Amino acid sequence: SPAGAGKLLVIAPEGSHWLSMKKVLLELSKRGHKIVVIAPDNKILIDSSDVYELKTYPVPLMKEVVEEHVR
């Protein structure tokens, strides 16, 4: 392989972009990459996984407020 496994830092977008990115992260993990995902603490779709380490950061909007806007 021309590239070796490495470490990846992913700033996770909420929504359909995340659903697509999750599949890519699964494949990268299978190839030996170590992945850290950074997401806001009011995330809706972004969840913990054995594939990556999830770290969150505080944001001023509560999760309930974000979910209400999505509805």
Tokens linked to 69: 């806007």
Tokens linked to 45: 């779709």
Question: In this model, does residue 16 exceed pLDDT 60?
Answer: yes
Of the pLDDT bands very low, low, confident and very high (cuts 50, 70, 90), residue 3 is low
pLDDT of residue 2: 57
Tokens linked to 8: 């990846």
Question: In this model, does residue 40 exceed pLDDT 80?
Answer: yes
- Structural domain boundaries in the chain: 7-57
> What does the pLDDT look like over 44-71, one tens digit per residue?
788 889 999 999 988 887 777 767 766 7
pLDDT of residue 1: 55
> What does the pLDDT look like over 18-38, one tens digit per residue?
888 999 999 999 999 999 999
Residue 21 backbone dihedrals phi, psi, to 5 degrees: -65, -35
